[in-house]
Structure 1
Amino acid sequence: MSISYRNMLAFIRVAESATFAEAAEKLHLTQPALSSAIKKMEEQLGGKLFSRSTRRVTLTPEGHTLLPTARRLVNEWDETYHDMQNLFAMQQGKLTIAAMPSFAESKLPALLNDYHRQFSNIRLRVLDVVMEATIENVLQGNAEIGFTFEPEVHDGLIFTPLFTDEFVAVMYPGHTLASEYMISWHELLRYPFIAMNRGSAVRRWTEHVAQDIGQLNIIAETGQLGSVGQFIAQGMGISVVPAICQSQMENRGLKCRAIKDNPLKKSVGMVRSQRTGLSVAAEEFWRLCERAYQ
């Protein structure tokens, strides 16, 4: 039979007092109730913890052995109780988020700033990784919430859309197409193309649209949309990227143009694990993001 927190605390207070009456007063108990609690604890442990006299109560050798452990256990429980209250009251805690770099750079900072203003004691961690790794981090429990394009397979995930992204064409300022207001896919296929790595969702979507028109002239591929922009800035070619990358590309001095009759539109949103619930901190952030895009 386990010893209750109440009885453990009673033992400590008696050990710190000269008499049962003094300890009972500290605990706001009657003396008979305190004596009963100590007696029950002694019965559970199998021996006396105190030597009693008419004037004083003192610890037995066994009681002396138990006292430091009892204090440690009670202190640990008090700290745990306090920490849990703080977690549920959002007074402390941490929140790990995974986000594809395009979202992490363009949309996430404002959302996190709003959240931090409300819950400044929550420590934030952002895993800035590609779409596929964002989904994997959520499935593996490394992040509670992920920001990504809608997964092609929803197994084990809950996806909530936030907005629709229409991909745009990107080129360096001196490119022939940079003077155009809007560009067709037929025009895009005439020029050297910088692509995402084979196997990535963006590469697969781009090739799927292009195959009905012609063939991409891929001269280089990379794993990050930021690197795509760097290659374009060197004048190596053009590309098609999500519109949420537009400010990132324009900050590099590149030109972004809308694509005529563009079928390449994808939903961007939040993912969470279907198998586990969100922490209080994550639940609040999830609701904040939903409100932001209502």
Structure 2
Amino acid sequence: MKIIQLEYFIAVVKYNNFTQAAKFLHISQPSLTATIKKIESNLGYDLFTRTTKDIKITEKGIQFYNYAVQLVQEYHQTMEKMHDLKMSESPKIKLSILESTNQWVSQVIAVHRKKYADQTYLISETHNQNDILEHLLNFEEHIVLSNEKITHEAIQSTPLYDESYVLLAPHNTFTRQNITIDDLPLILPKKGSQVRQHLDDYFKRVSLHPNIILEVDRFEAATNFVHKGLGYAIIPRFYYQSFNTNQLDVVKFKPNLGRTIYLNYLKKRKHSTRVLSLISVFLNYWDINVKNDE
């Protein structure tokens, strides 16, 4: 069975009509009908039930559709990656970073590009620890930053630096440098992120029932709400370097809460010279000397 046959089938499901699907695919309706019948013959079961008025996808057709969509997506993603290799002798370096690290990561990449001016990068954000591990093991990322150590025999997980969490507030809201956050209206990350897990563990440890008024996906959104006077955000201290925090103050809160940022990569992967160079730039930026246990 060919990818194009799967694409024909997906189009029929999308439009629920052979005529419209054929028009979208720029083929004749008889040709499309023949292709679907051939697929059904190969599979040994019907994908659609047909009447003179309409068509309906069968239960087995639904299951086949889910697999077909996945296969077509993977095919096109693979072709895109192969196209990247053809266009450049230096494939993109793929990094997953944390939102709070944007400022200093940009400086690291700037240093790396001085040596490799033609290098391109693909940067994303992944905040779930399980997703981070999966992306590394499946060769989807070269380098990943996390705020927890990844304890897996295949992963090199190196601590870069420690930072505290702080309270983000409008200018001159608090006269003291250290405060408690009991009863303050708080703006926190949504559940599921590493930062939210840190905060929830902290609240439980100090027996605090936080007054959470807003939950957001990103620190940028939390910062915007602080600007509007809707509450106070708890952020990693390095995010305060962001231009989004202009006209805002950071205040320490008691008891203290902190985290460690880790650099992670797959040890068994044959990394290119450029990727290894970028890893070195990351480590040198934080003055880290590491003997890899590869």
Q: TM-score surpassing 0.5?
A: yes
TM-score (norm 2): 0.61
**In 2, Cα distance between the equivalents of 1:207 and 1:282?**
36
Alpha-carbon offset, residue 249 of structure 1: 6.7
* AA of the residue aligned to 1:227: A
In the aligned structure 2, how far is the partner of 1:162 from the partner of 1:129?
A: 18
User: Whose Rg is larger?
Assistant: 1
Aligned residue number for residue 80 of structure 2: none
Query: 1:173 Cα shift?
Result: 2.7
- The Cα RMSD (Å) is 2.6
The answer on 1:143 being equivalent to 2:141 is yes
Partner of 1:173: 171
Aligned residues: percent identity? 16
Contact 2:142–2:266 under 8 Å retained in 1: yes
Rounded to whole Å, the distance in 2 between the matches of 1:273 and 1:280 is 15
Q: Paired residue for 1:34?
A: none
Inter-CA distance 260–206: structure 2 relative to 1 (3 Å threshold): same
- 1:13-162 to structure 2, matched below 5 A, reads 92-103=90-101, 105-130=102-127, 132=129, 135-151=133-149, 153-154=151-152, 156-162=154-160
Q: Could you say if the C-alpha distance between residues 109 and 168 of structure 1 is closer, same or farther in structure 2, counting changes exceeding 3 Å?
A: same
Q: How many residues align?
A: 200
Q: CA deviation at 1:134?
A: 5.0
The match for 1:28 is: none
Distance change (3 Å), C-alpha of 1:181 and 1:196: same
Indicate the residue corresponding to 1:255 in structure 2.
249
Partners of 2:267 and 2:184 lie apart in 1 by 43
Between the aligned partners of 2:109 and 2:161, the Cα distance in structure 1 is 18
Which of residues 246, 250, 254 in structure 1 aligns to 2:240?
246
The residue identity in structure 1 corresponding to 2:157 is F
| TM-score (normalizing by structure 1) | 0.61
Distance 1:154 1:229 in 2: 35
**1:156-235 alignment, distance < 5 Å:** 156-173=154-171, 175=173, 177=174, 179-183=175-179, 187-211=180-204, 212-235=206-229
CA contact (8 A) 1:150 1:269 kept: yes
DSSP-derived class of the 2:269 partner:
coil
What is the Cα deviation at residue 156 of structure 1? 4.4
Query: Aligned-pair distance for 1:252?
Result: 3.8
In the alignment, structure 1 segments of 5+ residues that lack a partner are 1-82
